[in-house]
Amino acid sequence: MPPKFFITHSWKDIEFARRLCDDFRAHGVEGFLDAHSINPGDSIPSRIERGLKDCDVYIPVFSPDALQSGWCDWEIDMAIVMKMKRGRPQIIPVICRPCDVPDRLMHILYIDFVARYDDAFRELLTKGFGVTMPPPNADPPKPAPAPAKPQREPPAPRIVTPPAPEILTPPKKPATLPERFTHPETGAEMILIPTGEFVMGSDDYGDEKPRHKVHLDAFYIARYPVTNAEYKQFVDAEKHRAPKHWSGGKIPMGKDNHPVVYVDWNDAQAYCRWLTAKLKGKSQKFKVERDGQLLTLDFELDTWQVRLPTEAEWEKAARGTDGRKYPWGNEPPDGNRCNFNDNEKGTTPVGKYSPRGDSPYEVGDMAGNVWEWCSSLYKSYPYRGDDGREDLKASGSRVLRGGAWRYNSYSARAAFRDAVGPSYFGGNVGFRCARSP
């Protein structure tokens, strides 16, 4: 059976997309085109995500309008993530009107349909689907028999999750360390996650299995993702490249307190190294309780190594120790708890959903808004920090956590895992910082 296709296109290119789809079907190749595959009442993001998961060959159709389309950008991002994670779909860019291919797909050979549709379609059908067309002057092929109507998939098993307890209190934190502090350079708030075990993963989905216990030493994690304003301090100080959507190196108007996006894993690492260097010789005083007395302690910062959180640290900060499904508990997401499912059409200011969407440690924005880079290589569970996955010099895909504003509630779960290559950057990928005391 020939591979299945998925066509991404701007609505201004719908006639080209329909012609492409019709020609595929005339040669016995089936797949997804939104105009034919999405029915009234369907959830558009969910139906698109399912179509991408089912396809074998992903065909983004490029034109000047497609390059400006948020929907096209979203579908391309999803396809790239799936390709990095599962090895499929094969991605074959197509140009229908003169334009450039986006930077993140420049390494892939595209097919130019401009003024050569028939030859280009023959090339796409042969190389992408293994279907050979007869020469132009040959007799037309006999129509292929109509493919059998696919059987309806059985309903997914119902997963019953016990309700979250009414009061979810994190374990008591050590008295010798401040529970939180404000970073002296960026003003970002850091929160202490105490030593101890937590439940990592789930028994519901493939790469989240098995559900297992992981012991972590205490660490600090930023309450919110790094913002545009915080990242600009680094860009200006180090002459580092600005995110591609910052016109003239300036933060988009009104986005100072939004999470920075279009940063790859190496950008995030460079920011952490810069922040580490900025802390040399710094200290702060904190009031802490010890043996029933309130004491003032000096908290030295010059030995701090600012870094990305490991995948295990990120998950513990997001779900605490009670195995909850989402940062706030087991209730499904809604518009009062997080930015997901394209309900805000873009990023939102950090802290907008606090405290309702916070984790049991009061860490915010850990569901939706932007994917967050972790230090860890993407490897199977159970998690072990000494098995090479925390080697910062090793090659391979790095973990993303938290879901994003374009993605549905499935990816907003605290146990959800994704991964892409360290050079990937997108309009829904950011990061937050961590540090071990």
CA gap 100, 112 in Å, rounded: 11
**Domain annotation for the chain: domains and CATH numbers:** 5-129 (3.40.50.10140), 180-435 (3.90.1580.10)
Question: pLDDT of the chain along its 437 residues, tens only?
Answer: 678 999 999 989 999 999 999 999 988 999 999 888 888 888 888 888 889 999 999 999 999 989 888 888 888 888 888 887 778 899 999 999 998 888 778 778 899 999 999 999 999 988 888 877 665 554 544 555 555 544 444 444 444 344 443 334 444 434 456 777 776 667 788 899 999 999 999 988 889 999 999 999 999 999 999 999 999 999 999 999 999 999 999 999 999 999 999 999 999 999 999 988 887 655 555 444 444 555 555 555 555 689 999 999 999 999 999 999 999 999 999 999 999 998 899 999 999 999 999 999 999 999 999 999 999 999 999 999 999 999 999 999 999 999 999 898 889 999 999 999 999 999 999 999 998 87
Tracing tokens 């990928």 back to the chain, one arrives at 429
- φ/ψ bin of 372: left (φ > 0), alpha (ψ from -120 to 50), beta (otherwise): beta
pLDDT at 127: 84
pLDDT at 17: 94
- Whether the full predicted model's pTM is greater than 0.85, yes or no, is no
